[in-house]
Every structure is written in structure tokens, then in C-alpha cells.
Structure 1
């Protein structure tokens, strides 16, 4: 997924993903952690900005990257990478801070203090939306996966399906929008719905023709489901909760009410 998000071949990515899937029994495959980064790797956003996991960065800008200096292209690619992470089989596992765009080179720079500023609310909301979509559609959690052939190597696409829902996911790792025609015969309706934009997408002879935005993705479903409610709050560093008498913090909801914790 990371190689594809960096601009690699969708066909090669699909081939490698299928090889991995075939190596594991389904019980293990669907329970495995889907990690795009961790405490042992360059952080996702920095890796998408061409900072490798080799611990050989000599330039200060690469050894200690900053969000301000990170390219807009890498920031856009993270949205696409997260979409693939949350729509592929397995348990999507987000390394702390990725949801707010934390940066970092390879270990130990990838273990910086959590950013509680709430300054990257757009990316945070995108992760929250993907979580809600995944919780709403059981096919994204335990459904089958079928890779789709495309006529453009920038487009990677697959079908997720179970007895309740069928979804078509397509991603575009290029710098320009790509219009592509995909086999949607596995989705048992005449008109699909883009559950990110809420737009209708008709089928013609079993195929759909869609335009996938640059460095982005599309999730088409057989029907729109009400999103699973999520606690909608942002972080705020104020003196409220004490942790070992060393740190104080507070979580404040948007409507000014403190959310309940269990």
C-alpha cells in the first residue's frame, strides 16, 4: 500500500496483496493488524514525503521533518492511504498521531510527544469518517475481497462484499483526476451511491464509469446507510486531569460539554 501511495504500480500492489492474502487462513487474515507505520518505522506522512526507513538521513530537514515543511502532495496522499487502510480486510491500526498528521523520521524520531493542539481537524475528521463508514458496513470488516482489473495503472480497485452489502473501492495515486470504467457486476443494484460525496453512480451493462480525484479515492456502495455515531470532540490542553502529578490535560467536546469516559 505504501509503495502504491508513493506512486507505484497498482497492478504490482494488487499482486503483492493477493500473495499475502493467500498465505494466511481467513481467520488470521481478517484479524491481522493493518499498520501503515509504527514505533519502528518512519511515520506515515513523512514516508509519503520520501523519508525512508533507513536511518541514514544526514540532512536536518530529513532527519527531523516538520509538518510545515512537508509537501502538500504527501498530505493529500495520506487521505488516500487511510482510505485503503480502512477498506481493506484486517484490523486497521492507527499509530498514535497519524490522525492529526504527526511527522517523524525513523526510530527514535517517530516517537515524538503526542500533538494535542487540535490544529489538523480536517485530517482528524477524515479518520473519524472512515471509522464510521467501516462500522456501518459489515462487508468492510468481514466481507470477501475481489481485486478489479483497471486500464490505468494509477487506479487500484476492489470489491468488498457479504450477504448484507457490496462496495466498490477505487483509489488514484496520480496527480490528475482519472476517469475509469470498472466491473461492478458484483454489486447487486442498478445505481450505486458514493458514500463519501453521497452522489448516485449508475451502472451500465454491469459497469460503472467514475472519475477518481487526484491522490484520493472513492467508496461506492449498494446503498447508503446511516453513519454509526461517533463522539465528536477535539483536544484542548487545559488543567483538568492529572497523570502521575506530571501531566494535566482536558478533552473538550465541540458543544462545550465534557464527554463521558468509561
Structure 2
């Protein structure tokens, strides 16, 4: 038995309070090494008093990564108190016990020793920090406001270009605004999305608005607070939630706080709002390096000292203001992984106190267990889960490695948080999906379908529903094309059907069992519960394959004459 492959950490992603008296438990073992895992558990007080016996349950094999197998079960714990240990049997029949003190021999006296067991002293549902129930039912639509639609020309910037004209540059302005978004809410409702994620809308000199001047004001080129309220009200009337984007890692150089630092130097009342290592602020004459910290290496975005109580109070007030005054439903926080955890706990706690069902999302490009739960975010932007999908359909990952990497990410977080992860195949920070897949519409549709079958809260980037192209930033931020005869209408129809399917099956896709099968060059993803089975079959080879199901597929791409073309798929419900 490969003991080094066995791992369990209580009160981590390996245990999840799902509801009152319900505890999900996971165990990791080496892959292809273990034949069976039993969990033995009891209320420690009642067991030691002799009023109850140990219960035993065989755990089910779950997902497997490239090197490990996961085992899983859900325990019912009437008293909310439980101790538990694992009896592990390998493929040769050898057994070992595993608990808080490590491994122990499988003999009766060891199983009667409470010190050998992992302890869950008391299960508090409040400690579970369960994400809002509505999130797993949400299909998001991300909007880059400056490029979505120009609703009011009177607020256009002075240097505005004709809509969609010319090549997009980093300093291009086209006049997109909040009234433009409101005017197209019916289009979005028809598409089927029920969550709007808006990139920053606060005052800023740039088109992207990630260099904020004033967090309490709408950028005048985007409209007014009345315009924003109309947008929120219109979205809510159509059953859509609204998520704003906040940049608290850094401010823009034109912010009044930073300008005061430039003017007054060490005497500025905002001097300790930033990470400054020399005066006056600027470049060191010897090293030519900035003497203050910034986002990345850009001088125009000074990094904020979020450990300063005054900074914390200001930023918390910002987030509370837009919830209390305008009724927004969620916040996405930019560069969340570079901000201290103490601040995030203070902010998230303050927001949950005024809006218990607020969705709090952190931006991160890597696995981020330290940001999820523990008083912080419900979820993060799940690039480690979604980027392998792109590599899979571009032939950069074989199916076996794709499954291993994906399963590793699916096991990275507790199940309730995994249901709330923000899953997107393209965003304002990445090349567009169609361009990444080299214009291949069949693979484009397959990738979106695979995304919608995975746990999490999926997102469509504006224009993806009509197969907009675009390379790296700023080319991925082109103006939305609103001319129907210039849009890929068959793609929009496909995405509309796919979103409808996802929303109809949201609860099922959040909780059902997930299994992978590799059949030749086909990757098969199956989701199952006691009532139904949903299966997506994706042809990753270079030759057509026979259609693989007797059931009539509800959605396909690249399927004709009972064959699935390379890059195509069929989706069936049984």
C-alpha cells in the first residue's frame, strides 16, 4: 500500500458541511492502489459513554487525478458532533487504519481508541459559509461597458471613434455606456442569461476603468447614477442579478488620495494609504526604479495599503454603498490574490451582515484555496478549470491528462464552493474563444458545451454568443456588432439553446455524480443521479466517429448521417 499517497485534512476542502447535520468527507489515496475505503464514525461523547455504537460506511470512489484517487461519502450527524477514521484496503487485501495520529494497525483495540480518530467537535452551518443558492443557477454575461453599446451620444468622450471603426488600441474610445446596456436588456433576456457582470464603471481616465479615481461616482462617459439605477432595476425586473467590479489592490494615479501624496509628500494624510519606500514619490535617481509599490510594474496604479484601518473603512464603505443605495447583488474583486486576507475577511463579513445572499468573487489565475471560505470569498475566477478546456480542443492536452487536471481542480474546493466557481472560457483579459480555437466553430460549440456540463457558475463574454473574434488585449475588447446580418445567428441560436439547457438542469448539474470515460478519441462526460443521466460525447480525434447513443441528442455540433465530425459533440439526456 502506498501510504505516502493517503491524505485527509479535517476542516479543509476534505470536509464540507452541506446542510444541517450533513457532512461530506473526502479521502485521497494513490491511484490504482486501493480497492476499498470504509469510514467508521460516531458521536464521541455517546460512543465513549457506551450509548451508541460506531457506524461503518463504504466510501464511493470519486474522481481520479493523474496520480491520486478520491473517495467520498456524506454522513448524517444528528448531534453535529462526530469523530471518524478510515479503514483502507489495498488491491492485495492488506488493510490499515488512518486517523488524526496517522496510520495504525487494523486491530480491535486501535478502533476503540478515540485518539486515533479525526475530530469534528461541532458542525456549525454558519461556519460552512454556504454560497448563495442562486449562484449555482446563474449563467453570467460579462460586459466591458465601453464596447457594448452606445446609448447616449451626449456623454461620449471628446476623442470618440465611430462605433466599431478601425483597429482597437489601448487608448481607443467608442462611447459605450450604461444606457446602451439597458437598451439591450431584452436581447440578453432572450439569450437566457440571468446574471450581468460589469467591468468597472467608476470614474477613471481609461477605457477599461481599472485605474479608479473615485469609487463613489459613475464615470460621466458611462452615464449617471440614475442611469445605473435604471439598469439595475431593469435587470432585476427580468430576473437578472447584477455584479460590479471593484479594484482595491490599487488606485489610479489621478485619484485624490494619490494626488494628495504627490502634492504634500510625507505630510499627506494619505501617505500611509500606499506602500511608499522613499520621498518624493517617483523613480529613484540611482536605480531608476519606482520607490512605491504598484500593480504589476505600471507607475499609474499605486498599490493600496489595505492593512491600514482607514483604508479598510473607506473601501468597505464603497462596497456597502452600492449595495444599500442601488441594490446590486454581487461584487467581483480585481487582483484579489495580492490583497491581504485580513482585509478580505473584514470586508466580506461587513457585506454579509447587510446582505446575507451577496455573492463575493475574487480574481485569481491559479488555484486559490486560501481565498475561498475562511470568512472570505464564495468563489474565485476559475481559470485553472477552464483553460485546460482550451488546451484540450486545441490538441495541446490529450484526454487522459485533461481529465486528470480537471479532476484535480474539482477536488480543490469544497463542493458548495465548487458549485459557485466562476467558469469562463474567455474574458476581457484573454483572447476570445473563437480566436483561441482558430475560428473552428464546431470546436467552439463543443468547448462551450463542456463548460456548461461542469460544476460552477458559467459565464459568456459579450459577443461570444455571436462568435466574435479577437486576440489578446486590446483586440479582445472590440465593439459589439449589433447588425443582425453581420452576426453569426446560428451560433446565437445554439448558445441560447445551450443556456436554456444549463438553467433547466442547474440543480442537477450542481450535485449529480460526475464521471469521465475515454473511448478511443472520444471523451465522454456523464452526469448521473437517481432520476436521470446526462452525457456529453466529444470527438477529439481527426476522423469522424459513429454517433454513440441510441437516445436522440438534445444538442449537437458536427453531427450528420449518424457520425460525429472531428471536434464535434452530441449531448443526450436519459
Shared fold, TM over 0.5: yes
Match of 2:518 among 150, 159, 165: 150
Could you tell me which residue of structure 1 aligns to residue 429 of structure 2? 40
Q: What is the alpha-carbon distance in structure 2 between the residues aligned to residue 116 and residue 5 of structure 1?
A: 29
Secondary structure of the structure 2 residue equivalent to 1:213:
strand
Taking the TM superposition and a 5 Å limit, the aligned residue runs for 1:71-220 are 71=439, 74-118=440-484, 119-138=487-506, 140-152=508-520, 154-179=521-546, 192-196=551-555, 211-220=563-572
Taking the TM superposition and a 5 Å limit, the aligned residue runs for 1:233-244 are none
TM-score normalized with structure 2 length: 0.29
Q: In the alignment, is the contact (CA less than 8 A) between 2:515 and 2:527 conserved in 1?
A: no
**Could you say which structure has the greater relative contact order, defined with CA pairs below 8 angstroms and 6 or more residues apart?**
1
Q: What is the alpha-carbon distance in structure 1 between the residues aligned to residue 489 and residue 473 of structure 2?
A: 26
Alpha-carbon distance, 1:215 to partner: 1.4
Q: What is the alpha-carbon distance in structure 2 between the residues aligned to residue 180 and residue 151 of structure 1?
A: 12
Alpha-carbon distance, 1:48 to partner: 1.0
Alpha-carbon distance, 1:94 to partner: 0.6
Q: Quick one: structure 1 residues 147 and 163, their matched pair in 2 at CA, closer, same or farther if it must change by over 3 Å?
A: closer
Unaligned stretches of 5+ in structure 1? 50-70, 183-190, 198-209, 223-262
Alpha-carbon distance, 1:181 to partner: 6.5
Alpha-carbon distance, 1:161 to partner: 2.1
Alpha-carbon distance, 1:90 to partner: 1.1
Q: In the alignment, is the contact (CA less than 8 A) between 1:170 and 1:212 conserved in 2?
A: no
Q: In the alignment, is the contact (CA less than 8 A) between 2:513 and 2:529 conserved in 1?
A: no
Secondary structure of the structure 2 residue equivalent to 1:107:
coil
Alpha-carbon distance, 1:129 to partner: 0.8
Could you tell me which residue of structure 2 aligns to residue 4 of structure 1? 392
Q: What is the alpha-carbon distance in structure 2 between the residues aligned to residue 180 and residue 123 of structure 1?
A: 22
Post-superposition CA distance 1:56-106 (Å, at most 9, x none): xxxxxxxxxxxxxxx4xx222111111111112111101111111111111
Post-superposition CA distance 1:89-136 (Å, at most 9, x none): 111101111111111111111111111122210000110011111223
Post-superposition CA distance 1:132-179 (Å, at most 9, x none): 112233465323243333231x32112112344211111113342124
Q: In the alignment, is the contact (CA less than 8 A) between 1:89 and 1:140 conserved in 2?
A: no
Q: Quick one: structure 1 residues 12 and 145, their matched pair in 2 at CA, closer, same or farther if it must change by over 3 Å?
A: farther
Q: What root-mean-square deviation, in Å, do the aligned CA atoms of Structure 1 and Structure 2 show?
A: 2.2
Q: Quick one: structure 1 residues 166 and 138, their matched pair in 2 at CA, closer, same or farther if it must change by over 3 Å?
A: farther
Unaligned stretches of 5+ in structure 2? 1-388, 557-561
Q: What is the alpha-carbon distance in structure 1 between the residues aligned to residue 547 and residue 551 of structure 2?
A: 15
Q: In the alignment, is the contact (CA less than 8 A) between 1:33 and 1:91 conserved in 2?
A: yes
Q: In the alignment, is the contact (CA less than 8 A) between 1:10 and 1:156 conserved in 2?
A: yes
Alpha-carbon distance, 1:43 to partner: 0.8
Secondary structure of the structure 2 residue equivalent to 1:80:
helix
Pair member with larger Rg: 2
Q: Quick one: structure 1 residues 11 and 145, their matched pair in 2 at CA, closer, same or farther if it must change by over 3 Å?
A: farther
Q: Does 1:221 align with 2:568?
A: no
Secondary structure of the structure 2 residue equivalent to 1:123:
helix
TM-score normalized with structure 1 length: 0.62
Alpha-carbon distance, 1:192 to partner: 3.6
